[in-house]
Amino acid sequence: MTPATTALLLTAPAAVPLVMSAAYGLTAFVRHEVPQPQLVEKPRLAKKAVAVGVATGPSPTGKAADAGEPLVESPAPRRHTADWAALASPAVILTCAALLAADRVGGGSVSAYSGLLRADALTVWMLLVVGAVALIACASAPAHLAGERAAGSATAWTVWRYHMLVQAFLGTMCLAVVSANLGVLWVAIEATTVVTAFLVGHRRTRTSVEAAWKYVVICSAGIALAFLGTVLLYYAARQAGIAEAWALDWPTLLARADRLDPAVTRLGITLVVLGYGAKAGLVPLHAWLPDAHSQAPAPVSALMSGVLLSVAFAAILRYRVIADAALGPDFTRVLLAGIALLTLALAAGLLLAQRDYKRMLAYSSMEHMSLVALATAIGSPLALAAALLHIAGHGLAKATAFCGSGQILQLRGTSRIGRVRGLLTQSPWLGALFGLAVVALLGFPPFSLFASELGIARAGFAAGAGLGWATATALALVLIAFAALATRTARMLLGPGEPTGENPSALWPLTLGLVACAALGIAVGPLGDLLTQAAAVLERP
């Protein structure tokens, strides 16, 4: 493969969604569906009042600055081809990932732009997960948006903005996956926070504004810690004699990791794990997760839960290899195992008392991410392969569950578990798909989460006494979460209900997600080699 083709394959997954995003914005602009920019009014008199430090007395010119967007009414119902055009990005991501997988047979790596973008087996695996989950989310979007339009809560502009931000979100996630420079990786992950802020605050109600505020503040501050950690690692690398241009390059750092100063690296890695852990939904900076996931539109929740968490966790995986080479495996093992168990305990406890089904799914994401963290702490080849398989299986199942929950929300108008009963009688297809997605999340065969959880448990008990106990504790906590999730879902699905004539053809993306998750569990097939190679990338050199 020529360097130009490689460069194209590495650039396209990030560039195509960003171009699509710009195209959506441009179309909205050309069609005059962009509202007036919400400039804050600055009356002269008030300015003077601030200048003297007090603001007393009425000011006659002060008019309430209208921060609201003028509503642009949707024109008469038309075919929404723009909704379907969004599928181009997942298609491109999946194609590029497949071509890259075929290209580097044997587990090598390819890079472009003097090493700035790089793909190894782990990159390809993550790109496949991003592409697959994005496919489900983008394919569910037209049905979701149609529901919003029918309910009158979507205007032409909010739909354009939705597409713009989702595409930009996909682009930044792919950039985070393909970049070899740890600084660029940070920039891309922070950019995901910025572009998803307005998706979380999409509905502008009190709850969604609150969720968006918490999301941006906690994630930005948390991930700032990761940047501080990156800076400290850069300092250690410069002191180890690595040139400026390469001191944040992942392969270079890995090759020279033994020369990094242990004390500085230890501090840096701790900050990085805490910082990216915030974005991956791990303790102690996890508080944004249930709020943001429950308030965002369903396809966005699917993307955030299904891949954003694991893209952030992939960053931790990359740093862990460096840390293990510089400090030995015990440091990250204790750190990650501790964080994993705390997160798991918290998620299981809060699942027990959960009354909102979108929040229930959000806590289940924390549960699964902590299992991935535990597998990473174990760190044997089996555990790492299981962690990567778990990332993929959880992404597919959770995307399906969230997209299904969005339809339930539109159907019932409430996200309270207690008020949703008899879903199976009311709309059998939706109920069955949602139920099966939860069954997949519970770790039943044939879905791939069964295989990966089995792998994690086996690796954990084989890894020695300390980790064996950690795994046993984790399994007990998973059992609690299992019980909570199962009883609540059963309450939603069973019971009497009025059958409504539902249209199962709109549910094909959910079926696709479940089929993919089950197929991955029955036979990994051609992906098996890729999985082994990706796990090998993460082993200590």
Partner 1 sequence: MSEGLFTQLLDLACGAFLLAAVVVLWRRELAAIVRIFALQGVALAVIALVLGLHEDRWGLIVVAVGIGALRAGLLPYLIRRALRAFVAEQNGGDGGLGRHGGSEEARETQPLVNVAASLLTAAALTLLAYAVASPLVELDPTPATRALPVGLAVVLIGFFVLVTRRRALAQVVGFLLLDNGITATAFLAASGVPLIVELGVSFDVLLAVLVLQVLTLRVREAFGTTDIDDLRELHD
Minimum CB–partner distance for residue 22 and partner 1 (Å): 16
Residue placing its CB nearer to partner 1 in the complex, 200 or 423:
200
DSSP string, 218-236: HHHHHHHHHHHHHHHHHHH
Q: Going by C-beta distance under 8 Å and a sequence separation of 6 or more, which residues neighbour residue 144?
A: 297, 298, 299, 403, 406, 407, 410
Give yes or no for a contact between 353 and 376, defined as CB atoms under 8 angstroms apart: no
Q: Does 210 bind partner 1 (CB under 8 A)?
A: yes
Q: Does 239 bind partner 1 (CB under 8 A)?
A: yes
Choices 37-45, 302-310, 398-406, 456-464; region in contact with partner 1 by CB under 8 A: 37-45
Residues 288-327 contacting partner 1, CB under 8 A:
290-291, 294-295
Residue in 414, 5, 13 with CA at minimum distance from that of residue 174 = 13
End-to-end Cα separation, the chain, in angstroms: 27
Minimum CB–partner distance for residue 355 and partner 1 (Å): 9
Site string for partner 1, 257-276 (x = CB under 8 A): ----x-xx--x---------
Q: Does 71 bind partner 1 (CB under 8 A)?
A: no
Residue in 275, 264, 278 with CA at minimum distance from that of residue 234 = 264
Residues 100-139 contacting partner 1, CB under 8 A:
none
Q: Which of 102, 245, 490, 522 binds partner 1 (CB under 8 A)?
A: 245
Partners of 415 in the beta sheet?
Answer: none
Residue placing its CB nearer to partner 1 in the complex, 197 or 520:
197
Minimum CB–partner distance for residue 183 and partner 1 (Å): 3
C-alpha torsion sign, points 512, 405, 451, 173: positive
Residue in 291, 91, 301, 286 with CA at minimum distance from that of residue 196 = 301
Q: Which of 2, 36, 61, 81 binds partner 1 (CB under 8 A)?
A: 61
Residue placing its CB nearer to partner 1 in the complex, 105 or 221:
221
- State how far the alpha carbon of 229 is from the alpha carbons of 226, 272, 369, in Å: 5, 5, 22
Residue in 385, 267, 395, 245 with CA at minimum distance from that of residue 317 = 385
Q: Which of 8, 15, 18, 49 binds partner 1 (CB under 8 A)?
A: 49
**Phi/psi at 373 (5° precision):** -65, -40
Q: Which of 3, 29, 62, 464 binds partner 1 (CB under 8 A)?
A: 62
Residue placing its CB nearer to partner 1 in the complex, 88 or 287:
287
Minimum CB–partner distance for residue 125 and partner 1 (Å): 25
Strand pairing report for 117-119 and 110-112 = antiparallel
Residues 177-196 contacting partner 1, CB under 8 A:
181, 183-184, 186-187, 190-191, 193-194
Site string for partner 1, 350-379 (x = CB under 8 A): x--xx----x--------------------
User: DSSP letter at 40?
Assistant: P
